[in-house]
Amino acid sequence: MASISSTRDAFLSGGLQNCNADEGTKCPICLEDLCSNNEQTVQIKPCKHIFGSQCLAAWLKFKNTCPMCRKVLYAGEPEVTGYGDVYVRGLVRQAREQLRDRFDDLAEGMQELVSRHRQNIGQSQERMRQDDRAHKERMKKIARWNAEQKLKIIRGT
């Protein structure tokens, strides 16, 4: 079992390791894709949770625990005390805004897809009507030809 660091600086220098996040992995603090931005990705050695290095550094100014499992990472007091909950609420508010923006983008995309789908249905229906008219014309020609053939047979020509 890993021992708890005595200070934040001691933890930052020895309790983290650089790592590569898998494609699609999101930082649990800011909810951004860890592979899409150029931020360094770090893993907390004791609990193996992965974060963006800037997010974790900001978090550790207010809290001395892992943002995911709340494992105590260093024994000293956070650099800024009394504002941790405000910071966390700010992160939650930011995450909500990002989710709302993403939802709005998805809703807009869905409306565009529905509009294109309706347009495609209208075009398909028009092609079906044209095909139906062409089919009826062919059937009339065939019926006329059949009638002409019957008359020829009847007349014996």
Predicted TM-score of the model (pTM): 0.49
What 3-state DSSP class applies to 9?
Answer: helix
pLDDT at 110 exceeding the cut of 80: yes
Predicted pLDDT at 81 = 56
Tell whether 99 and 157 lie within a shared domain. yes
Q: What is the CATH number of the domain that holds 27?
A: 3.30.40.10
Domain that holds residue 157: 88-157
pLDDT higher than threshold 80 for residue 57: yes
Question: In Å, how far are 15, 69, 98 from 5, measured between CA atoms?
Answer: 8, 17, 34
Do residues 103 and 153 both lie within one domain?
Answer: yes
**Number of domain units in the chain:** 2
Does the pLDDT of residue 37 top 70, yes or no?
no
Please tell me the predicted confidence (pLDDT) of residue 89. 72
Q: Are 77 and 93 in a shared domain? A: no
pLDDT for residue 112: 94
Residue 8 has pLDDT above 70, yes or no: yes
Overall average pLDDT of the 103-110 stretch: 92
Q: What is the pLDDT of residue 34?
A: 83
Across-strand partners of 17?
43
